Amino acid sequence: MRKREIAFSPEAQVDLIGLYDFIAERSGAGRAIGYIGRIEKYCLGFERFTERGTQRDDIRPGLRVVGFERRVTIAFHVETGRVVIDRILYGGRDVERAVTANPPS
């Protein structure tokens, strides 16, 4: 099994910052840091296991979607040598709308 680089799209980075702010405001910075850290660690695990989740070619060719801790949806795609985390969506946000609004270049 080949190891791939993990890249977070600019949109995924903004998603993480927004999620941090949301949690920190309601539950404190410590809890927010811990939650974001778990999400990032989970995403880094895609370096070897890229076939996770459900294929969503109906939204965009090559898109895969996986859930995390019942509240987060992670949308990603696999390229040669790397996995790109496209979006990190919290609380039932619309994956199709979020992913098609900012398709990868």
Pairing of strands 63-68, 72-79: antiparallel
pLDDT of 39 reads: 97
Q: What is the pTM of this model?
A: 0.86
Q: CB-based contacts of 94: which residues, under 8 Å, 6+ apart?
A: none
| CATH code assigned at 71 | 3.30.2310.20
pLDDT of 94 reads: 61
- Domain of residue 39 covers 5-101
User: Which residue's entry shows tokens 């039932």?
Assistant: 92
- 63: β partners: 77
User: What is the tally of structural domains in the chain?
Assistant: 1
Question: Mean pLDDT of successive 10-residue segments in the chain (105 residues)?
Answer: 88 96 96 97 89 89 92 93 94 68 58
